[in-house]
Amino acid sequence: MNNIEEITKYFPLNIYNLLTETFKQNAEILQTLQEIRIRSGRPIILKLRQVDILIQYNVSQTEIIQILEKICENSIYAYKNQICKGFITIKGGHRVGITGSAVVENGRVINMKYITSLNFRIAREILNCSNKVLSQIINIEDNSIYNTLIVSPPGKGKTTILRDSIRQISNGIDSIKFRGLTCGVVDERGEIAAMYQGVAQNDIGIRTDVIENVSKSYGMKMLIRSMAPEVIACDEIGSSEDVEAIKEAISSGVKGIFTMHGKSLEDIKNNKEIYNLIESKQIEKIIFL
């Protein structure tokens, strides 16, 4: 993992040296590293795919603030909206989760004080990981796609496969004479495109437009009105508002790829709103990971 410096540069010297030494001693860590968890008064935890590695160093509250200030380029106020949503996207598409004492007004988080934990979630693109499922998603005869729902438990790769599917559908696939389609992505939590200062840190294709930091339902409607996508995509649908927006998109002739949490058809049936999309044949393909 060559881009680990994109993350470690935010840490104070003591933590930076500890992490660098750990990675030097065991370079294989970088191949499966998923998260670096920093908690005030507690050890640093490196979360790998199958195991956690503890670094015995108690992080101080001052160091937490120092890290946050570096992430925010010494202007925490400028990042207030992102902090209130619980995460900041940094260069490289990595996301930093933030927890602390929330200040709530009228049921909405308006500020976060006494920051106690930071979770650096490592971004990884796996190009062409969608090759296997694309044969089910793409409709070659119409140079289009089937309305598709990708289902998997958390952490099993549905967002990664969704991202790569969008990339290939947007670019086109010469080997099967598939022409690229205009795609619209609603990136509510910044996990698909991972925008940093207006630039997508992940490759989502040459014909893809992204709207982020809005609800999926509102974002879908905005994209249809403003960018006329042929394909629309969003991650982790579930609410009645999401489903209504999907119905509106499909009735407008827009195709869609969506994901949801689940393990089986029973999990889909438990969400009556989404299952209605399937019963009405508006979702044409279901892919379980």
**Which pLDDT tens digit goes with each residue over 63-74?**
999 999 999 998
Question: End of a domain among 67, 86, 121?
Answer: 121
The reported pLDDT for the residue numbered 127 is 93
- Same domain as 277, residue 138: yes
The parent domain of residue 160 ranges over 131-288
- Same domain as 270, residue 144: yes
Going by the DSSP 8-state scheme, the letter that residue 173 receives in this structure is B
- Same domain as 111, residue 189: no
- Same domain as 136, residue 100: no
Percent share of the chain, pLDDT over 70: 99
Question: End of a domain among 66, 99, 121?
Answer: 121
Q: Does 126 reside within a domain? A: no
Cα separation, 202 vs 196, whole angstroms:
10
Number of domains in the chain: 2
Question: End of a domain among 69, 102, 121?
Answer: 121
pLDDT tens, 171-223? 999 999 999 999 999 998 888 998 888 889 999 999 999 998 889 999 999 99
CATH, residue 95:
3.30.450.90
Cα separation, 204 vs 221, whole angstroms:
20
- Same domain as 89, residue 178: no
- Same domain as 95, residue 33: yes
Cα separation, 229 vs 251, whole angstroms:
13
- Same domain as 239, residue 115: no
Chain-wide mean pLDDT for the chain? 93
CATH, residue 207:
3.40.50.300
Cα separation, 19 vs 163, whole angstroms:
30
pTM comes to 0.81
Q: Residue 139's closest CA among 183, 185, 177?
A: 177
Cα separation, 151 vs 259, whole angstroms:
6
- Same domain as 142, residue 283: yes
- Same domain as 36, residue 85: yes
Going by the DSSP 8-state scheme, the letter that residue 280 receives in this structure is T
- Same domain as 167, residue 102: no
pLDDT tens, 248-288? 999 999 999 999 999 999 999 999 999 999 999 999 999 99
Helix, strand, coil percentages in the chain from 3-state DSSP, rounded to 5? 35, 30, 35
3-class secondary-structure state, position 41: coil
pLDDT over threshold 70, residue 2: no
pLDDT tens, 34-57? 999 999 999 999 999 889 999 999
- Same domain as 240, residue 281: yes
Q: Is residue 34 within a helix (H) or strand (E), and if so which, with residue range?
A: strand 33-39
